[in-house]
Amino acid sequence: MTLASVPAPALAEGRQGGEGLLEASSQPEAAARDFPVACEGGQRQAFCGLAGIVWLHRKLQDVFFLVVGSRTCAHMLQSAAGVMIFAAPRFATAILEERDLAGLADANAELDRVVTRLLERRPDIATLFLVGTCPSEVIKLDLHKAAERLNQAFQTQAVANRPGSPNQPSQPIQSQGLSATAATHPTGRPRVLAYSGSGLETTFTQGEDTCLEALVPDLPALPAGESSLLVVGTLADVVEDQFCRLFAELGIGPVHFFPPRSARALPPVGPGTRLLLAQPFLGRTARSLEGRGARPLAAPFPIGIEGTRGWFDAAARAWNLPEERTAAVLAKPMERARGALARYQEQLRGKRVAYLPDSQLEAPIARFLQQECGMEILVAGVPYFDRRLMAGEIDLLSRPQAGNADGSFAVVEGGDVDRQLDAVRTARPDLTVCGLGLANPLEAEGLTTKWSIELVFSPIQGFEQAADLAELFARPLTRRARLRF
């Protein structure tokens, strides 16, 4: 096993890239059950869950992701993360070599050696994620057990490092680097967790779901009798700050965000916690948090002006705020957002969009494009449709609007990529939103495309970002118009 792409700190820069609180109401859940979603089988084309590392490492600023996988995984990660050239790298790939594949090396011992070497070079790592991938050798390795073993070894080392302790750790992992790490770490030892980013188990954004799910057992308990709001899903810091200000103005709190900016400041969770999802792909995380007693709020996702208003309204109802007060607090940012959005509406109105499945953000974004920008949605494909998670969103999706003739658009789950491409070629929409691998061939055929990955990396949630989101769709149309002259 070799360790790829782990620069020493000096090289890091510039190298690489009760009654008072409401439950989810049964009304939206009933609507969610009846919402029509077509299911298609066939070949799909989407990133695996490793892609989530690209945005998770920016948010969780003191964690390190060690992908245990093949050269393909390393290449995929390096290409997907090419955008982070000025960031201090906080991920790497432990690549399985021929000796590992041939069974000539003890994979667990190799992994211990790689982790020890990594920690020698990066003693600042507080939390280390072992990220599982597709190769059968990795599946056989059982990274969850490996994480347990490493944690036990670190615990023993940390005890041995305490002043007055006989320095005789009995675990097999012993190195100067590990001792140094245990000595310098605030809690006396790094924490090792494991999750799967394998393409066999996860699609594009599900890597965030499995990562956050792995963190849930480590969240501290919310003291009995206390209540709090937990916003779940990675948000850009600028969006998080805006949301904090609005929650404070509304008098809703305390509010915590998961993931937080530091893995050393994990939010508390317990029966007094109400969950507000900021991303539509966190079903496993939500269920794990519910297992800790938290209760979800039915809300749309904070995409566009209406989605963001519905999202804040759900929290305000849970805190028993009078509707007038909520409306008064939200009026100004909504007005600002409408003003900013107006300049794109003219350009986007009436344009036909085909949205192919990729990130799980398709349905709320298509809803925004149709209802707030006046675009016509030919199809909104989603990799999978979690009706429970989408309960609050469906309330908005079902609203009759002027965009399409019947005020709705088709939501298709799964999908056959060849059939989808044929449909796009026949319909020739003004804009096709799709993954990177499909965009270039379609552009070559004269179709205008938008990379769906950009919508995951960009801050698009909230009132202030509604116009920015519209601009992301206006840009390719402008580019195409310019190319025609």
Q: Which residues sit at the interface with ligand SF4, rule CB under 6 A?
A: 48, 50, 69-70, 72-73, 76, 133-134, 197-199
- Nearest distance from C-beta of residue 50 to ligand SF4, angstroms: 5
- Nearest distance from C-beta of residue 452 to ligand SF4, angstroms: 17
Distance CA 200, CA 438 (A): 21
Distance CA 324, CA 307 (A): 18
- Nearest distance from C-beta of residue 4 to ligand SF4, angstroms: 13
Distance CA 326, CA 328 (A): 5
The answer for residues whose C-beta is within 8 angstroms of residue 285's C-beta and 6 or more apart is: 209, 212, 213, 216, 232, 258
- Nearest distance from C-beta of residue 357 to ligand SF4, angstroms: 16
- Nearest distance from C-beta of residue 80 to ligand SF4, angstroms: 9
- Nearest distance from C-beta of residue 76 to ligand SF4, angstroms: 4
Cβ pair 197, 208 in contact under 8 A: no
Query: Which pairing describes strands 38-40 and 2-4: parallel, antiparallel, or unpaired?
Result: unpaired
Q: Which is nearer to ligand SF4, 423 or 436 (CB)?
A: 436
In this structure, which amino acid lies at residue 368?
F
Q: What is the arrangement of strands in the sheet containing 376-382, beginning at the earlier edge strand?
A: 38-40, 411-414, 376-382, 352-355, 431-434, 449-451
Q: Which is nearer to ligand SF4, 70 or 242 (CB)?
A: 70
Distance CA 427, CA 421 (A): 10
Determine how many CB atoms are found less than 10 A away from the CB of residue 86: 10
CA torsion sign for 270, 271, 272, 275 is positive
Distance CA 474, CA 421 (A): 22
Q: Which is nearer to ligand SF4, 72 or 401 (CB)?
A: 72
The answer for residues whose C-beta is within 8 angstroms of residue 74's C-beta and 6 or more apart is: 4, 5, 67, 93, 95
Q: Which is nearer to ligand SF4, 202 or 273 (CB)?
A: 202
Distance CA 391, CA 363 (A): 12
- Nearest distance from C-beta of residue 90 to ligand SF4, angstroms: 18
In this structure, which amino acid lies at residue 460?
I
Tokens of 411: 């939501």
Q: Which is nearer to ligand SF4, 68 or 219 (CB)?
A: 68
- Nearest distance from C-beta of residue 320 to ligand SF4, angstroms: 46
Query: Which pairing describes strands 63-69 and 127-132: parallel, antiparallel, or unpaired?
Result: parallel
What residue number has its CB nearest to ligand SF4?
199
In the three-class reduction of DSSP (H, G, I as helix; E, B as strand; rest coil), residue 95 is classed as strand
Q: Which is nearer to ligand SF4, 69 or 267 (CB)?
A: 69
DSSP state of 393: H
Distance CA 381, CA 434 (A): 10
- Nearest distance from C-beta of residue 118 to ligand SF4, angstroms: 19
Q: Which is nearer to ligand SF4, 214 or 297 (CB)?
A: 214
Q: Which is nearer to ligand SF4, 107 or 294 (CB)?
A: 107
Q: Which is nearer to ligand SF4, 205 or 370 (CB)?
A: 205
Q: How far is CA 50 from CA 133, 334, 410, 466, in A?
A: 8, 36, 29, 28
Q: Which is nearer to ligand SF4, 76 or 250 (CB)?
A: 76
Tokens of 352: 């036909």
Read out DSSP for 167-199?
----SS---HHHHHHHHHSTTSS-EEEEEE--T
Q: Could you tell me the end-to-end alpha-carbon distance of the chain, in angstroms, rounded to an integer?
A: 54
Q: Which is nearer to ligand SF4, 44 or 149 (CB)?
A: 44
Q: Which is nearer to ligand SF4, 70 or 279 (CB)?
A: 70
